[in-house]
Structure 1
Amino acid sequence: MQTLIAEDLLLLLLDDAKGTLAASDKVQPLLGGALLLELALAGRVGVVERTSRWTSAKVAVTGTPPGEPLLDEAMARVAEKPRSAQDLVDRLGKGTRDVLLDRLAARGLVERRDDKVLGLFPHTTWPARDARHEESVRALLQGALVQGLTPDARTSALIALLAAIDHAHKVVDRGDLPARTVKARAQEVADGAWAAKAVRDAVVAAQAAIAAAVTASVAATTAGSS
């Protein structure tokens, strides 16, 4: 089954039984980063070197739309004007979670369940309906992060995104391996020579942008609660 990297990320972050989402506060920039990397892997966008020390590197369109609705929409957003990856990941990720969940449900991979908390507040969960695709993705991650196998570019991009939110060690069966070992392996994969320079630049930019967006979100939450 052909899925987007962003769709695979959501499947990995969803609890199969409860249908709830882990790292929900990090999902918007994470999914935006996933769309950005998908376009970069396909040669549709790239990171343009900054022109001075006072400007940030910008993401630019380098190819034609791939013909996939969500990616075409993301590419159109990139084409609007020069923006940094940090600016783009949040923009690209806005509203994407719900669209992707509906797509996954339409494919029969998850099931939408609408309920009410305390009989009053609407609450939607997305438990697994057919976990075979997710299991195949986890097997690739298991091979790369636990068994030390060399992942392909798409799996490497997925690992780089998971590493950006410190979640790679949570989606595999570590066995006796310490979490720090799996984390180190995830970062090693993310930093590896598995992609052309244009994609490599996009990976670095997306990771930094996701980390910055998550840090800003945590800071805002902390300030609001003080």
Structure 2
Amino acid sequence: MLICEELFLLLTKDSGAPESWGGNDQLGLRGAVLLDLVLAGRIALTPEKRPRMTIVDTSPTGHVVLDQTLAVLPAKNGKRLTSLITWSKVKPRDAIAAELAAAGVIERTNGGLFGLAARFPTLNAGPEHTTRERLRAVLHGERPATHADLALLGILQSMGLASRILPQRETGLRRGELRHAITTLRPASASGDAVARAIQDAITAMNSVVSAAAAAAAS
């Protein structure tokens, strides 16, 4: 599965409601889909303190959600990563949901006032269970961390949702222990240093964006 698909499942309750109503889900999904494009070799991030996104390949990936995102990115070629994470034209949620629904993992229903609130109840809990088991094993050092693991855990931590999505009853780790485990994780192989740096850059950008949004809400 794509990183953005796994994150979508983690951020969605089995009932179909979001795990958090704080508005950060879309930010997390944007960061995830951008990292999927990095892993697919379609974009790269410049090696600087405030990295910029550069497009390196515009050929289709075969994944609808990635190709839809890639199609709008030329307008932001060379721009700061933080501006991409807040850019409303990158809106992967519906495309992710459509792909997961087509695979029989979730379904889409409408509810709330006038039926305008979309929900995505789980039909097949297997994929999310597999992701959670893998992340638990990574956090306990039972298996090496992949780039996808680093991305998922880092994004959840930057959104302030890690301990809610991965509670102690599931991981055996208290909030502080979970934070320490996530922040000290390293990739299994040094061969992907550029990708690992891109993941860290995306997580740093997410932290910056989420912190700015929280500060604005509090003012």
Do they superpose with TM above 0.5? yes
Change (3 A) 1:174 1:5: same
Gaps of 5+ in 1: none
Describe how 1:52-67 pairs up with structure 2 within 5 A.
56-65=50-59, 66-67=61-62
Among candidates 64, 68, 74, match of residue 69 of structure 2:
74
Deviations 1:114-136 (A, max 9, x none): 2345xx56433222111111111
| Identical columns (%) | 26
1:201 and 2:197 aligned: yes
Among candidates 30, 36, 39, match of residue 38 of structure 1:
36
Cα shift at 1:197: 2.9
1:156 and 2:154 aligned: no
Among candidates 170, 174, 177, match of residue 178 of structure 1:
174
Deviations 1:132-156 (A, max 9, x none): 1111111101111245432222222
Does the 8 Å CA contact 1:109/1:128 hold for their aligned counterparts? yes
The one-letter code matched in structure 2 to 1:67 is G
Q: Give the equivalent residue in structure 2 for 1:168.
A: 162
1:20 and 2:14 aligned: no
Cα shift at 1:216: 2.5
The one-letter code matched in structure 2 to 1:28 is Q
**Secondary structure of residue in 2 paired with 1:36:** helix
Task: Provide the aligned length of Structure 1 versus Structure 2.
Answer: 213
Cα shift at 1:161: 1.8
Change (3 A) 1:220 1:94: farther
Instruction: Name which one, 1 or 2, has greater alpha-carbon Rg.
Output: 1
Q: 2-side partners of 1:30 and 1:78: how far apart?
A: 17
Q: Give the equivalent residue in structure 1 for 2:47.
A: 49
1:211 and 2:189 aligned: no
Q: Give the equivalent residue in structure 1 for 2:216.
A: 220
The one-letter code matched in structure 2 to 1:136 is T
Q: Please, what TM-score do these two structures have when normalized by structure 1?
A: 0.81
Does the 8 Å CA contact 2:111/2:118 hold for their aligned counterparts? yes
Displaced runs of 4+ in structure 1, greater than 6 A?
none
